[in-house]
Structure 1
Amino acid sequence: MLVCSDRTISRAELTALADGRAARLAARGIGRGDLVGLCLPNGCEWVVTYLALARLQACCVPLNAASAVAEITHVIRDSGLRALFVSAERAEALAGTYADQVLLCPDGAIPRDRAAPERGPGHAAPAGAACLAYTSGTTGSPKGVIQTRRAVRAGGANLAARLRLGPEDRVVTALPLAHTYGTNVMNAALDSGAGLILLERFDAAAMLERSARHAATVVAGVPTMYRRLLSEPEGRMPRSLRCGLSAGQCAGEDLAMAWEERTGAPYVEGWGMTELGGMATLAAPELAGRHGTAGTTLPGVRLRVEAGGRVAPPGTPGELQVHGPIVTPGYWNAPRQTAAAIGVDGWLRTGDVGVIAADGRVRIVDRIKDVVLCGGYSVFPAELERAIRGHPAVRDVAVAGVPDPVLGEIPCAWVVAEHGAAPAAEEIIRHCRALLAAHKLPRRVVLVPGLPLTANGKVDKRALTSTTSGGNPHVAD
């Protein structure tokens, strides 16, 4: 069962719709290895088109439906799309500039009723490629990550198996299907026969209502979504709920415990990335209570920590590296970036700092690029965020480094206060001083009404650091 808005599609109907769309695309000349963009909002059309492309062994290039024209333009130029699924409105806006691309409306109709253009040199996806997934671009221009069919299948199967999904389950999510985590959840539900209830975009009240209406057993989101669900004063998850799945950010024990206290369902964390086609580690619901970890490796995944150029022993923090069939073969038309990320031995350098315990459980510390280098010390934003969230007047917080002429960088905290509260910056810093070493304290605190989010629901720290003016700043001595 697939539920989108007020439309419900049975498994048999979904199969028929996907088969029909695949046949129409094949008649237009779309086939194996063709790169086809999918720029539609969450909904039944997205799922049907994705499945149709998979049947043809075409390569799906997902784009967030909210992407700006400049972002769509970058993907079209970089990938050499042979066709692009967009809304009718977007098709009209893009047709003039990209007359060589076929612009397909959600119902499968092709404007101007023409066939797909001949594929240009270098515009065929590598053998076995299921998706060309562009990274969010928070560190520069988005890169196309090649995801193999083997990795995508393993991602869905591993997630379904670890969560023990079956036909009796109902999975509710507002994760963008254009991002790997959302696609991973979709495939897990479809592969296991579970019902999938899709929201076009995240809204806490709507997600609670859909979960109750459809007797949800699993909710999938990112920590920011869970915090907003918990902030709904009248919000209650149904008693049918047996699991809250979270990934994409370091959650912290406070959020996990608050969720479990409110719902009675375990808060299960996983870890993965676009370059892995899904998750590499995941906690099992039956092992709930071990908060602060992202579980253990999934089948077929090898994981190690590198510190100081050597493989580190258990309990030592360092860069997490992954090996196995889920690892991307590389970035699209970017051999230098591929060589920098993947060693000749096949190990992927993830850029995440983590710790592997003696029992195999993985704890994610932070992103290497997010570590604040303050006066010779390394400050991990996630650690500081956990400390600040412990203050009773704080609803949410994000920490990032901002330039400083003396120390190089200083940690700045953007704080969202609880309703009716207005904690002073000095109060926040004093709270942290009781929990952290002096060099880890925030050097600047800014009160903000809310935190900006990226298209996949993560806090947009680049938007925060682009300006530190306004609010209520305080520089600590």
Structure 2
Amino acid sequence: MPDAEAPEPHGRQEWRTVPELVRWAARRFAPAEAVVDGRTRVTYGELGARVERAAAACLAYGVRAGDRVAVWAPNSLDWITAALGAVSAGAVLVPLNTRFKGGEAAEVLARSGARLLFVTGTFLGTSYVASLRRAAGPAAGPAPEQGPSRGPLPGLPALERVVVLSGDAPPDFLTWKEFLAAGEDVPPGRVRAAADAVRPDWPSDLVFTSGTTGRPKGAVITHAQTVRAYALWSDLAGLRAGDRYLIVNPFFHTFGYKAGVVACLTRGATMIPQPVFTADTVLAHIATERITVLPGPPTLHQSLLDHPARAAHDLSSLRLVVTGAAVVPLRLVEQLRAELGVATVLTAYGLSEASGIVTMCRRGDPPSVIATTSGRAIPGTRVRVVAADGTVCGPGEPGEVRVRGFTVMRGYHEDPAATAEVIGPDGWLRTGDVGVLDADGNLRITDRIKDMFIVGGFNAYPAEIEQLLGLHPDVADVAVVGVPDHRLGEVGKAYVVRRPGAPTTSDDLIAWARREMANYKVPRTVEFVARLPRNASGKVVKGELRGAR
């Protein structure tokens, strides 16, 4: 089998863009419960009205088609409303990782050229507004090449307005209420016209992901790709009207926003966003909200199975689990089915550069296939495994996983050189992952060419972490690898060469890292070495480091 290919789907959807999908869902499922966020419950009809109001406010503040609008906030009804409102006004959504520190968020805001930002107030004890001000406020100064600042943050001259998703905001920022009020004078016809003007081939979102250089790159995905891919995802998963979907996966990630919000819109399922994962809260939500669908990384589901209070909660409503992002133990699949009575457990594989979805298991696949593979190519895509010399590998032969089809991104935002590195003239996307296809076309990921490792469902890129650790004055050289962790799947381990006479301890360096980078990127252990193993070309031989752990 040189390629694994799925046939093109048949039939035509009633929507080709995200605004069309939102409006269709608001009509089709009007009385059904759309979102449950704490004590707030809104129907699909009410959600549609909220989105239109947010779109009107975007238009009132000058958002034009193609403008980038960022959201830096945890899962919530307001996130859904702000994001869908911006996209309905013709903007391109830029989701920001809530684990980012201020400098990391400012980097993505600068590279995307975002004109408007929706930001949470305080989350997990951190003021995101203060964090952003420290990174891009008056002390930072305007970026000369971008001209003078037009907004409240001199370090981000393209950013014209910041809206705080709460009732309080600094004088030069807007509250959520103030922002929405500005849209009251925008005629409904203008809002509808802006949504109708959105074309299927326009970008719908810009998801930033780091590469081996550590420099953020934004994958450009269109409206047509988004709605088609997640209508397919919903078909393959068996998502249906009446399902109650606990969305623990962060909205800044494709798995949370598209396999969550967009998928629910296509089926009229109820969304229950959860801003922070804790096993106690998940268990309580399943029992009280009668949750039927719970996607997430394997660590999430294992933590529920292992929780000492599990028996005190009624989990009988659960019927569908979709997981991935790591190897899934066969025992986990069997436990979910036998102990929790989950009828459907599926695994999948994807990456931001391919709209977040490449392969997926099918309902009815045996547990061994679900646990040991990521399933087969979704309809409309082709998957192949290619050897280093460019030849296509046969079944069971490892090589780089490559993808071609409608899910492949248009390219990296304003980065044609990086785009050319991963998408060939023939349209095949180089994923950077090493995998094996079996005779039935099921894909098994065996390694990561890019050395990426996954911490509790979050992608961690060693080159980016190494770049940050290298800023410490006592670090002369550093290499980071992923090591197994019972709770998180993998965590980072740093091998560090100290500068002569430097007194820094491992605890010192870890504490410093926690102040400078998102928590999932912080190495859990540091080992000081005299030198790093390097090959003749000067590259660190990470295989030796992994073997030495």
User: What is the TM-score normalised by the length of structure 2?
Assistant: 0.65
AA aligned opposite 2:356 = G
What is the number of equivalent residue pairs in this alignment? 398
Q: Counterpart amino acid of 2:256?
A: G
Which of 218, 221, 231 aligns to 1:144? It is 218
Distance 1:53 1:207 in 2: 30
Instruction: Using the TM superposition, name which of 361-370 and 151-160 deviates more.
Output: 361-370
CA distance in 1, matches of 2:75, 2:48: 18
Query: Take 1:38 and 1:306, find their aligned partners in 2: how far apart are those partners?
Result: 37
Structure 2 residue corresponding to 1:191, chosen from 266, 273, 285: 266
Distance 1:416 1:347, change over 3 A: closer
Match of 1:109 in 2: 178
What residue number does 1:154 align with? 228
Aligned-pair CA distance for 1:136: 5.1
* Range with bigger deviation, 244-253 or 70-79: 244-253
Aligned to 1:80: 113
User: Displacement, 1:475?
Assistant: 9.0
* Map of 1:267 onto structure 2: 345
Change (3 A) 1:416 1:293: closer
After TM superposition, the structure 1 stretch with the greater mean CA deviation from structure 2, 19-28 or 99-108, is 99-108
Query: Structure 1 residues 137, 224: closer, same or farther in 2, change over 3 A?
Result: farther
Aligned to 1:277: 355
**Aligned residues of 1:151 and 1:276 also touching (Cα < 8 A):** no
Does 2:433 match 1:352?
A: yes
3-state SS of paired residue (1:201): coil
Match of residue 526, structure 2, among 439, 454, 467: 467
Q: CA distance change for structure 1 residues 225 and 26 in 2, over 3 Å: closer, same or farther?
A: same
Post-superposition shift, 1:253? 2.2
Q: Residues 12 and 465 from structure 1, CA distance in 2 versus in 1: closer, same or farther, beyond 3 angstroms?
A: same
Pair 323,475 (structure 1): closer, same or farther in 2 beyond 3 Å? closer
Instruction: Measure, in 1, the Cα distance between the counterparts of 2:212 and 2:480.
Output: 20
1:306 equivalent to 2:386? Answer yes
Q: Which residue in the other structure is 1:130 paired with?
A: 204
Report SS of the residue matched to 2:431: strand
1:147-172 deviation line (CA, Å, top 9, x unaligned): 11122112221111111211121111
User: 1:127-276 residue pairs with structure 2 within 5 A?
Assistant: 128-135=202-209, 140-185=214-259, 186-235=261-310, 238-265=315-342, 266-276=344-354
Q: Give the counterpart letter for 1:27 in structure 2.
A: A
- Residues in 2 aligned to 1:268 and 1:317: alpha-carbon distance in whole angstroms: 23
Residue 220 of structure 1: SS of its match in structure 2? coil
Q: Distance in 2 between matches of 1:307 and 1:331?
A: 25
Residues 55-94 of structure 1: pairs in structure 2 closer than 5 A: 55-88=88-121, 90-91=128-129, 93=133
The residue number in structure 1 matching 2:6 is none
Worse-matched range after superposition: 88-97 or 258-267: 88-97
Q: 1:81 to 1:359 in 2, by over 3 A?
A: same
- Structure 1 residue aligned with 2:36: 3
> Aligned letter for 1:156?
Y
Q: Is the 8 A contact 1:224 1:459 kept in 2?
A: no
- Matching residue's letter, 1:286: G
CA distance in 2, matches of 1:138, 1:8: 43
Counterpart for residue 15 of structure 2: none
Aligned residue type for 1:109: E
Q: Secondary structure at the residue paired with 1:260?
A: helix
Aligned-pair distance for 1:257?
A: 2.7
Please report how far the alpha carbon of residue 66 of structure 1 lies from its aligned counterpart in structure 2 after TM superposition. Answer: 3.4
Tell me if structure 2 keeps the 8 A contact 1:33–1:126: no
Contact 2:374 2:444 in 1 (8 A): yes
The superposition leaves residues 93-122 of structure 1 with CA deviations (integer Å, 9 ceiling, x where unpaired) of 3534346521122225349x89xxxxxxxx
CA distance in 2, matches of 1:297, 1:7: 39
Matches within 5 A, 1:279-294: 279-289=357-367, 290=369, 291-294=371-374
Return the offset for 1:201. Answer: 1.0
Change (3 A) 1:90 1:416: closer
What is the aligned partner in structure 2 of residue 327 from structure 1?
Answer: 408
Compute the TM-score of the two structures, normalised by the length of structure 1: 0.75
- Give the conservation status (yes or no) of the 8 Å contact 2:400–2:434: yes
For the residues of structure 2 that align with 1:136 and 1:213, how far apart are their CA atoms? 38
Change (3 A) 1:12 1:252: same
State which drifts further: 1-10 or 205-214.
Answer: 1-10
Q: Which residue in 1 is equivalent to 2:86? A: 53
CA RMSD of aligned residues (A): 3.7
**Counterparts of 1:411 and 1:53, CA distance in 2:** 38
CA distance in 2, matches of 1:85, 1:245: 29
CA distance in 2, matches of 1:240, 1:229: 14
Distance 1:411 1:77 in 2: 29
- Secondary structure at the aligned position of 2:523 is classed as helix
| Residue in structure 1 matching 2:73, options 19, 40, 61 | 40
Which AA in structure 1 matches 2:329? G
SS at match of 1:12: helix
What letter is aligned with 2:353? E
SS of the residue aligned with 2:54? helix
* Alpha carbons 1:275, 1:327 under 8 Å: kept: yes
Higher relative contact order at CA 8 Å, sep ≥6: structure 1 or structure 2? Answer: 2
Question: 1:180 and 1:207 mapped to 2: Cα distance?
Answer: 20
Alignment deviations for residues 335-371 of structure 1 (CA, whole Å, 9 cap, x no partner): 1111111101110000111112111222222212339
- Tell me, in whole angstroms, the C-alpha distance in 2 between the residues paired with 1:279 and 1:30: 30
Secondary structure of the residue aligned to 1:154 is helix
Structure 1 unaligned segments of length 5 or more: list them. Answer: 115-124, 372-380, 386-397, 404-408, 418-453
Equivalent position to 1:295, from 375, 378, 390 = 375
| CA 1:247–1:57: 2 relative to 1, 3 Å | farther
Task: Give the C-alpha shift of residue 233 in structure 1.
Answer: 1.5
Give how far 1:178 is off: 0.6
C-alpha separation in 2, matches of 1:18 and 1:8: 15
Which amino acid letter does the alignment assign opposite residue 245 of structure 1?
A: V
- Deviation of 1:268 (Å): 1.1
